[in-house]
Chain A
């Protein structure tokens, strides 16, 4: 077995265990720490899959969130209470669901091969070469063959990979896609974060105003 794949499976198992511990444990602090462990394992998974940008972002965000959560948890009173839950019932339900999913997956994958079969690793759907007419804009199908060069990449992913470095000159090509080809997307994401932060201020500030008025009347 491929050692990288083996390591991936071990990490995925570790993440599942960490998530279960985070849900089931009683102490709030240990729950937060388990979430952090699962997050760090996820960053290693990203690194193994060849996405260092994502790995860096995941580690850094995980650290920040962990610090904030630990800060919040330490200064809060632990007001959770244990709910009784039969382990046997939950376990058997999970087992039945797992068997059901496995059977459906195998049945659909085996029937004719066109069912739920997963694509081979490292070969995303965007890389698939399509006929040139499929990539042509609407209404240009008729004369698509005549004025198109032979070497035109036939999928979006292939086009990015072939033309991107020449067009953007960005050595870290992920940034070339995120900020140049997909600038609109990034602008939208920045707007989402901006609105989320505005929302956080709006929600948290009402209490702050009260204490401002009391603590520093001349501010």
Chain B
């Protein structure tokens, strides 16, 4: 998959960082404002998808290899389980063992911020990995399967 035109690339350069920042904000402040690990993770995944669509497959494979995506997916899932297991410090599974703090502050509500972080990493990596699998694997395999056919009309020409 090749990238898109120069306009799209430059806009992506400007915007992608802000998208990632907004996703991180939604994840980190999930226990204070609406949002949370799932929505923030999907926002981060959307930013990554934008980068891949704009800059193409080769750039993506150099910057973010698929192995990294898969590994961070698994790490996020295990981290959430780890937060739950750390509850045994307080006696029970899923015990909120951290100090609760002041309501409304960033460092409040104990383990919720850790759980949100873990879920955010897990969701963003997972959805981005599925997008990579759908967009790259399938198309590359299809080209091989349908080799006798003429190439598809190029819809992404600038």
Chain A residues engaging chain B, CB cutoff 8 angstroms: 52-53, 55-57, 60-61, 63-64, 67-68, 71-72, 74-75, 77, 165, 168-172, 174-176, 178-180, 183-184, 186-187, 190-191, 193-194, 197, 200-201, 204-208, 210-211, 214-215
Contact = CB atoms under 8 A, between A and B. Distances in A.
B133 A72 contact: no
A175 B43 CA distance: 18
B116 A56 contact: no
B12 interface: no
Nearest to B128: A64
Interface of B: 26, 30-36, 38-39, 42-43, 45-46, 49, 53, 70, 73, 77, 80-81, 84, 94, 96, 100-104, 108-112, 115-116, 119, 122-123, 126-127, 129-131, 133-145, 152, 155
A214 B145 CA distance: 13
A207 B39 contact: no
A214 to B, nearest CB: 7
B103 to A, nearest CB: 5
Given A55-B34, A179-B31, A179-B112, 9 more contacts: A53-B35, A68-B49, A68-B134, A75-B155, A172-B30, A176-B109, A180-B94, A204-B133, A205-B137
A172 B133 CA distance: 35
B26 A179 contact: no
Contacts of B129: 197, 201
Given A175-B112, A176-B109, A57 B138 contact: no
A77 B142 CA distance: 12
Nearest to A182: B94
Main secondary structure of the interface of A (DSSP, over half): helix
Given A197-B130, A200-B130, A180 B96 contact: yes
A67 B123 CA distance: 17
A183 B102 contact: no
Contacts of A171: 31-33, 103-104, 108-109
Contacts of B101: 169
Contact of B84 (A169, A175, A176, A187): A187
A175 B139 CA distance: 39
Contact of A207 (B26, B126, B140): B140
A211 B84 CA distance: 40
25 contacts: A53-B35, A53-B36, A55-B34, A57-B36, A64-B127, A71-B53, A72-B134, A168-B112, A169-B101, A169-B110, A170-B31, A170-B109, A172-B32, A174-B36, A176-B112, A179-B116, A183-B94, A187-B94, A190-B119, A193-B123, A194-B122, A197-B126, A197-B129, A204-B133, A207-B141
A215 to B, nearest CB: 8
Nearest to A69: B134
Contacts of B133: 200-201, 204-205, 208
A-B interface, 5 closest residue pairs, ranked by CB to CB distance from nearest: A207-B141, A208-B137, A52-B34, A170-B109, A183-B94
A61 B45 CA distance: 10
Contacts of A61: 42
B30 A175 contact: yes
Contacts of B46: 60, 63-64, 67
A68 B137 contact: no
A204 B138 contact: yes
A64 B123 CA distance: 12
A217 to B, nearest CB: 15
Contacts of B73: 194, 197
Nearest to B130: A200
